[in-house]
Structure 1
Amino acid sequence: MAREYPSLAVANYGLALLTLIYISNQWSRYILNYLYAVPYDDDKENKAERISIAYACDLTTSEYGILTGYGFSATFVVTGLFMGRAADKHNRRNIVTIGCYIWNLALAAMGMSSNFYELLIFRLVLGFGEAFSNPASYSMIADLFPPEKRPQANGIFASGVYVGGGLASISESLAEEMGWRYTCYLTAAVGGLLCTLLLCTMSEPPRQNLDEMDKIEEEDEAVQGSQEATEVEEQAEKPSQQQSTLSVIKWLLTDPHTLVLFIAASVRFMGGYAIAGYLPYFYDYAFSSYSTQYSYINAYVVAFGGFCSSWGGGKITTLWKESANHEDPSRRWPGAEKANYYVPMIGALLGIPFICICCLASDFYVSLCVGLFLEYLVAECWFGPYMSALQEGVPPTMRGLAVATMMFMATFFGSLMSYLIGEIYDALVDDGYSHKVVRYLVLYSVVGTYAVSALLFYQASRITPATAKASGSTSETTSLLHQQGSSPATAGNGSEPA
């Protein structure tokens, strides 16, 4: 008999705690973006040393691009693959807890740094620790909430990136008040308290996929009753032990539906990295007299706009999908079965005109409160529905590694965007261009990546997931879980009209 999902109270508490830790995760990750943007006066050396990480560590724009890009992702993406597999096999609560302690210790160590190379080492350690979090967290959420509730739950969890980004923005003002080093210490202390709370108050949720496997085995035995079916069942008893990491990755990268989703997220992340990495720098140059206002207003824009968009995207997707089961045909929304794909696509397209306003407006408040706020409000709805599409498209025993592989690709290409913008910016400034050229680098990067990602989300909606192909037969589903080493064509490929 299949296990029941945890009670609503237990599920909501687990989601709330995981979301708070994710907020800490993103605050720690993006704090450097805003500490680097703290303005300083070269003539006031002591104050500049205290408030500006750029001055204290003598950072160039190219070095900053490395720190926010591959200086973080080099360890994050590789470790994430191993942590994704670990999330499929080991205690996920403990994985998140250990990672949380590691990244907060690394952040505290960053506060003691005095040059680029020390920052680079501790950023790499921070990336290593943060890689523990997402695969295990999304895997736990999938076991806390049934499929019809996952888009909204994933959307709430994904909102942590915006609240964390908002806190990172406030860190710019904190650095001006208490110094950039103590700002790092404060952020690390908050994260340490949260991971202690997780360790002491939350238990590992039961894995629902084990019950799905039990159900498959029971139905196969009842329907087939043959020795061949029994042998398949015996193989399915411990799938996670028999599936090697490389064979699962091979399956994920050769399944058309999953691969297109990976590429779509990677392109979309490139736009997000351009915004997170270089908009603070843009506002510092374009509206230098508004540095204090920017810190607080941007925190509201990112945290409130992003949270509302992420929560709303999950809620709208859930309602859209549920409308397919309405008794009254007139109350069924068109394309309900594809809502997980259409919401990210629509959000990316709607974000394009508002990022144009953000980058091109000559008025500070129009740029930030209209352009950037509305961009966050409409465009950041995508991740919750996207994660639901990814989770539903792969067998349950692959979910952790699927999330890790997606994060590997998305972070790699997002970091590439950060690096390229930094290199191009330095080259243009050296050739005599104004520092404000950064506005066009951000604009073209975001518009291009949003448009391409929207096309890819639409393309993914036209490809039938292999799990859906196999859903008509329990024996096919069981077989699918053991086909990682073979071409996904045997599990079912193809596309259907949207």
Structure 2
Amino acid sequence: MAGAADRDALAMRRRGLTLALLTLTYFFSYMDRQILAILQELIKHDLQLSDTQLGILAGFAFALFYATLGIPVARLADRFNRKNIITAALAIWSAMTAAGGLALNFGHLLAARIGVGVGEAGSSPPSHSIIADLYPPEKRAGAMGIYSLGVVLGASIGTIVGGTVASFYGWRAAMFAVGVPGLILALAVYFFVIEPRRGLSDPDRVVENDQDTMPGLLAGFASLGRNAPAVHLVIGVTLTSMIGYGLTAWGPSFMQRSLDITVLQIALYVAPIGGICGTISAVGGGKLADRLARTRGLHAQSSMVAVLKLLALPFLAGFYLIGDPVIAVASYFASVLLANSYLGPTFALIQGLAPVRLRALWAAITLLVINLIGLGLGPTLVGIISDALRPQMGEDSLRYAMLIFAAVTPWAIFHYWRAATLLKRHAGTAVR
């Protein structure tokens, strides 16, 4: 008993370090996933690819394996050591990112991107589960907000490093530059992350220890499907992710084609400021969500996401409609500042609604839907729409393809509002 108590105390003492390493892992995950965005125009001309092929590489090829393998990995994470799973996954996707720099044609690059998807499937579900065990409900959104910095910083720093290296040494060198350091991080995760006891921060909730009695996959889907607020949160975050992945994957290409901004300018000016705005949004949004949960109830977190996304929508539309590059990019920064706070509160709410022993599975189910629809369809559909509009719109076809995607935002806002309504109605039963 004393040994278990000592291990619990060590896990809590190191939870800041654990959160930092998991966030850094998520950062590398998103950087390796999104590195194609800044390199697309260079790869397009070097390998003679269409926008549809680029969309498949950025979206469907990665998402199909990333999303579907997340389910079996989550089942392993609900049973076995989560730290070891994350370590192995990080090593795999980092090696495959570097291997992408050796591609000589579409097929080679497709295989490398599939490998990245296979590796990254082992990261987020066990990470969500560990964070939920280390932070209680009233602090969980803030912790998840910090974790979600991986998205913002991965995209921005990946653009900075990838764009700068590619400008001087080519896109292949950029692939190596972002892939190899992940192998070193894998060692740090293995040696310094402490595996916490399941349910450590939820002492009032019963944790089932009999592995044989754990519900199966279909039961996991059913348990989530019976929870109406969770269903609306999953739909809301899926639509938001589809829009975000589609626009993020093609943002640098749009700026190069329609705003005459170079790869190096995007890397040195746009990406750093965008990263700062996204960081403020993610961290500030997580802290605000925690405060709202304490003062108004958990439902206020979902309401916050809906309001901020509504305020961001005009600025997002302005990015694609304004012809002046300086004003257009400033409008983009404003939209990022307002809208990038959704991940922390959303994942925290879903983890709070999930049964303790099924947290990794619920995270994987959420990510399955998010990534098959959001990541799988987002970049791919933007590329298809852009190719379809090209005969009429020319180089501006990408501008209008992305504007069409931005117009889906009100649908996502509705589901966050509906989730807030249901959470408020059932106040006191969300965490039990």
Q: Same fold (TM over 0.5)?
A: yes
Q: SS where residue 393 of structure 2 aligns? A: coil
> By how many angstroms is 1:467 displaced?
10
**Match for 2:385 among 413, 418, 424?**
424
The correspondence of residues 304-343 of structure 1 with structure 2, limited to 5 A, is 304-323=276-295, 335-343=296-304
- The corresponding residue for 1:29 is 33
Q: SS where residue 14 of structure 2 aligns? A: helix
**Match for 2:410 among 443, 448, 451?**
451
Please give the alpha-carbon distance, in whole angstroms, between the structure 2 residues aligned to 1:470 and 1:383. 19
**Match for 1:398 among 317, 339, 358?**
358
- The corresponding residue for 1:493 is none
Alignment CA distance shift 1:411-1:466 (3 Å): farther
Alignment CA distance shift 1:209-1:144 (3 Å): closer
Q: SS where residue 164 of structure 2 aligns? A: helix
- The corresponding residue for 2:191 is 200
- The corresponding residue for 1:123 is 113
Please give the alpha-carbon distance, in whole angstroms, between the structure 2 residues aligned to 1:195 and 1:436. 42
RMSD value over aligned CA atoms?
Answer: 2.3
Please give the alpha-carbon distance, in whole angstroms, between the structure 2 residues aligned to 1:177 and 1:470. 53
Q: Is the 8 A contact 1:285 1:435 kept in 2?
A: yes
Equivalent AA in structure 2 for residue 12 of structure 1: G
Quick check: 1:77 aligned with 2:67? yes
Equivalent AA in structure 2 for residue 146 of structure 1: P
CA-to-partner distance for each residue in 1:307-358, whole Å, 9 max, x for gaps? Answer: 11000010001112222xxxxxxxxxxx444122112111211110111221
Equivalent AA in structure 1 for residue 345 of structure 2: P
Please give the alpha-carbon distance, in whole angstroms, between the structure 1 residues aligned to 2:213 and 2:58. 36
Alignment CA distance shift 1:289-1:166 (3 Å): closer
Alignment CA distance shift 1:252-1:270 (3 Å): same
> By how many angstroms is 1:74 displaced?
1.0
Q: Is the 8 A contact 2:352 2:430 kept in 1?
A: no
Q: SS where residue 462 of structure 1 aligns? A: helix
- After TM superposition, the score normalised by the length of structure 1 is 0.81
Q: Is the 8 A contact 2:221 2:365 kept in 1?
A: yes
CA-to-partner distance for each residue in 1:184-207, whole Å, 9 max, x for gaps? Answer: 112111111111111122221222
The correspondence of residues 118-197 of structure 1 with structure 2, limited to 5 A, is 118-170=108-160, 171-197=162-188
- The corresponding residue for 2:220 is 248
Quick check: 1:273 aligned with 2:232? no
> By how many angstroms is 1:251 displaced?
2.0
Q: Is the 8 A contact 2:87 2:189 kept in 1?
A: yes
- After TM superposition, the score normalised by the length of structure 2 is 0.92
Please give the alpha-carbon distance, in whole angstroms, between the structure 1 residues aligned to 2:187 and 2:79. 23
Quick check: 1:412 aligned with 2:372? yes
Q: Is the 8 A contact 2:353 2:430 kept in 1?
A: no
Please give the alpha-carbon distance, in whole angstroms, between the structure 1 residues aligned to 2:118 and 2:29. 12
CA-to-partner distance for each residue in 1:125-168, whole Å, 9 max, x for gaps? Answer: 10010010001111111112122111110000001111000122
Equivalent AA in structure 2 for residue 95 of structure 1: I
- The corresponding residue for 2:267 is 295
- The corresponding residue for 1:86 is 76
- The corresponding residue for 2:320 is 359
Q: Is the 8 A contact 1:340 1:388 kept in 2?
A: no
> By how many angstroms is 1:94 displaced?
0.5
Please give the alpha-carbon distance, in whole angstroms, between the structure 1 residues aligned to 2:344 and 2:201. 24
> By how many angstroms is 1:216 displaced?
4.6
Please give the alpha-carbon distance, in whole angstroms, between the structure 2 residues aligned to 1:256 and 1:211. 22
The correspondence of residues 90-129 of structure 1 with structure 2, limited to 5 A, is 90-129=80-119
Q: Is the 8 A contact 2:247 2:379 kept in 1?
A: no
Please give the alpha-carbon distance, in whole angstroms, between the structure 1 residues aligned to 2:45 and 2:340. 33
CA-to-partner distance for each residue in 1:387-423, whole Å, 9 max, x for gaps? Answer: 1111111211111111111111111112213222211
Q: SS where residue 90 of structure 1 aligns? A: coil
Alignment CA distance shift 1:6-1:468 (3 Å): farther
Alignment CA distance shift 1:210-1:284 (3 Å): closer
Please give the alpha-carbon distance, in whole angstroms, between the structure 2 residues aligned to 1:278 and 1:426. 13
Q: SS where residue 357 of structure 1 aligns? A: helix
Alignment CA distance shift 1:117-1:290 (3 Å): closer
Q: Is the 8 A contact 1:56 1:115 kept in 2?
A: no
Q: Is the 8 A contact 2:79 2:211 kept in 1?
A: no
Please give the alpha-carbon distance, in whole angstroms, between the structure 1 residues aligned to 2:305 and 2:223. 24
CA-to-partner distance for each residue in 1:242-286, whole Å, 9 max, x for gaps? Answer: 321221122223432222211111111111012112221111111
Q: Is the 8 A contact 1:100 1:130 kept in 2?
A: yes
- The corresponding residue for 1:376 is 336
Q: Is the 8 A contact 1:19 1:157 kept in 2?
A: yes
- The corresponding residue for 1:461 is 420
Moved more, 238-247 or 131-140: 238-247
- Identity level (%): 28
Alignment CA distance shift 1:116-1:243 (3 Å): same
Alignment CA distance shift 1:240-1:205 (3 Å): farther
Q: Is the 8 A contact 2:259 2:323 kept in 1?
A: no
Alignment CA distance shift 1:7-1:421 (3 Å): closer
Q: Is the 8 A contact 1:5 1:143 kept in 2?
A: no
Please give the alpha-carbon distance, in whole angstroms, between the structure 2 residues aligned to 1:5 and 1:462. 38
Please give the alpha-carbon distance, in whole angstroms, between the structure 2 residues aligned to 1:5 and 1:132. 27
Quick check: 1:348 aligned with 2:309? yes
Q: SS where residue 132 of structure 1 aligns? A: coil
- The corresponding residue for 1:263 is 235
Alignment CA distance shift 1:71-1:151 (3 Å): same
Q: SS where residue 55 of structure 2 aligns? A: helix
Q: Is the 8 A contact 1:88 1:240 kept in 2?
A: no
Q: Is the 8 A contact 1:77 1:408 kept in 2?
A: yes
- The corresponding residue for 1:487 is none
Quick check: 1:11 aligned with 2:11? no
Q: Is the 8 A contact 1:165 1:302 kept in 2?
A: no
